[in-house]
Amino acid sequence: MNLPLLPTISTFFIVLSAVLVAIGWYLIRRRNIEAHKKVMLAAGAAALTFFIIYMSRTIFVGNTAFGGPDEYKLIYTIFLIFHICLATTGGVMGLITIWLGLKNRLEKHRKLGPITSVIWFFTAITGVVVYLLLYVIYEGGHTTSVFKAILGG
């Protein structure tokens, strides 16, 4: 099996972010506020690392098309759209939740944090499934960069 480097690394970072969120959740339940803060900032950094790798690859290399059987393409596309919606929602909510915590707006932070965490767990799980479908279970389809798609070549 020949796994692509950047998608494998970016998937690692999204999983790492979810693991760190779980650890942060555990720490806050134990009332270890300082450790919670550090771990959740690390989770945010891991998610940001994923996003930078993903966007860089999308812009400069491109996205990989689904290479599985045609009869699964619609199901995959619907699943991918669901994942993208989760990731976008989770990312925005994550930024807001971290900001609320850093600004000491703890009542809102406490309400939003668990919801954000659950969305992020589902984002990570669905992201791993997308990775498996694109690179492990099926061979990836063609890849075209945004620049090539727009400018030709």
| Terminal-residue alpha carbon distance, the chain | 29
The one-letter code for the residue type at 134 is L
* Number of helical (H) and strand (E) elements in the chain, helices listed first: 5, 2
pLDDT tens digits, 72-117: 999 999 999 999 999 999 999 999 999 999 999 999 999 999 999 9
Q: How many CA atoms lie within 13 A of 100 on its CB side?
A: 16
3-class secondary structure, 4: coil
pLDDT on residue 111 = 97
Tens digits of per-residue pLDDT, 122-142?
999 999 999 999 999 998 888
Q: What is the pTM of this model?
A: 0.89
